[in-house]
Structure 1
């Protein structure tokens, strides 16, 4: 069976379409990655050095059946068709031969048993002291209505508002140091499938500035939206804007044909605020990620 499988390596951002093809075809609630995860991470980091960002894709004929991504020099993300579970071992072998980090690590969802088995067979073990993420789910039936204080407006982004969209992201994500996301990075995000401006919601103040945002990526095939990312400018926090902009985006997702949504906040107690926000509007926790180290 394996003799028919061909591998292609990429450096830099190439390979996104192949990765999304496999994620969409094999997605289930037991999958770690939604096609929006791949779209966001690859597009927002598209200018990353090719030398430090490698991807391998395995095909059986025309079908993508596995891929591995060194999202950091020593860290692996992978997707393998569960019907071709034997290829997980092949991906891990490629990772060990290709990675150059000081200690090799990988991340999977606890329900991805075929990936977990391949990593454990190669000598990787769980690091339960590491931060982890928990998939949270919400049905789009019976959503609360979003409300913002007087003087603020909820609306979706327009395609020509790249600079304002980039500015609110940087404001929200610069608490621990300046965000590296440039306007060019945001333009790349907003031109990457399946981005839709009508699913990218913001709170706008009276001066026309965006002060909170929530982006949803819709997988039409499975009718599931991924919320990624969400943020609020520090000066506007604790006013309910995070909840409001999320709810507005979820209503738009339902209008676009979505039936449920998933979001993946930290599950450990190192950063509980995001988890509390999502649970306050109806998201409920499901499976968690696992961090594995070699040796």
Structure 2
């Protein structure tokens, strides 16, 4: 899956290899039980994949092989059945997918939460600053539990985060994870209170920021901006020239996008959602 994403990567691509690394490694196997993933190959080269979670589909298809998109959608329909309202989301620039999705009877649906690619070049980054009593640094390989704990603290506002030390260990052993690009803010008690992870695609010299978080009691101190900038500077030192982050773009959750824009990220392409109506049986 990552090989295909890397081979076709560009400004108009939905996914970065880090998206796949994070999503597959961060979810424990027992929670993946209902997932269905299929690959389409031509000889020794993968040309498409589909990934079903519940009634939703993520798909990647080589733009040079647009006809395979129809096969992925047929598989989606067969796997979910006619009584299910099917959902799929693509980047607005992926016209080879949109054409196939509309031909398959899916309808563009407005009003759902969507995501916007935000991009930054690394030639003019600001300087990260943390308040007295805090330390900005990258994670060490032996700090798995502390790294899992800061993720749980940052992502438990709405519902308790299910991040475990075992899941974080899986993330930290997944290609292309690098501890030099996994940055945290540590308080005076040695507790991690904010974090930002960047995944580097060395072939394209492009980083993906995923995920970022700050414990609620430490927000509005500039730690989110500092930890992102620390990781971005590290990305530049490792040869990166650009980075991407994909926050919500709708008005329902605007704060992350504002944070990234304050660092210098600029919004670009957005996702669009399509619905395939269930049949009356």
* In 2: Cα distance, 1:64 partner to 1:197 partner: 29
* In 2: Cα distance, 1:125 partner to 1:190 partner: 39
1:70-149 to 2 correspondences below 5 Å: 70=52, 72-99=53-80, 102-149=84-131
The CA deviation at 1:102 is 3.6
1:122-161 Cα distance to aligned partner (Å, 9 max, x none):
1111111100000000000110000000000000001111
Does residue 1:54 correspond to 2:39, yes or no?
no
* In 2: Cα distance, 1:257 partner to 1:215 partner: 16
The CA deviation at 1:48 is 3.7
**TM-score of the superposed pair, with normalisation by structure 1:** 0.92
Does residue 1:185 correspond to 2:190, yes or no?
no
Instruction: Provide structure 2 residue ranges, at least 5 long, that are not aligned to the other structure.
Output: none
Structure-2 residue corresponding to 1:40: 22
Does residue 1:243 correspond to 2:236, yes or no?
no
The CA deviation at 1:21 is 0.6
How many residues matched?
Answer: 276
**TM-score of the superposed pair, with normalisation by structure 2:** 0.96
Structure-2 residue corresponding to 1:224: 206
Does residue 1:69 correspond to 2:64, yes or no?
no
* In 2: Cα distance, 1:131 partner to 1:51 partner: 26
Structure-2 residue corresponding to 1:168: 150
* In 2: Cα distance, 1:152 partner to 1:49 partner: 35
> Structure 1 pair 231/146, CA: closer, same or farther in 2 (3 Å)?
same
Structure-2 residue corresponding to 1:15: none
Structure-1 residue corresponding to 2:138: 156
* In 1: Cα distance, 2:37 partner to 2:238 partner: 32
* In 1: Cα distance, 2:32 partner to 2:6 partner: 25
- After TM superposition, the runs of 4+ consecutive aligned structure 1 residues lying more than 3 A away are 48-51
* In 2: Cα distance, 1:272 partner to 1:48 partner: 32
* In 2: Cα distance, 1:35 partner to 1:273 partner: 25
Structure-2 residue corresponding to 1:253: 235
Structure-2 residue corresponding to 1:204: 186
The CA deviation at 1:50 is 5.0
> Structure 1 pair 62/46, CA: closer, same or farther in 2 (3 Å)?
farther
Does residue 1:270 correspond to 2:252, yes or no?
yes
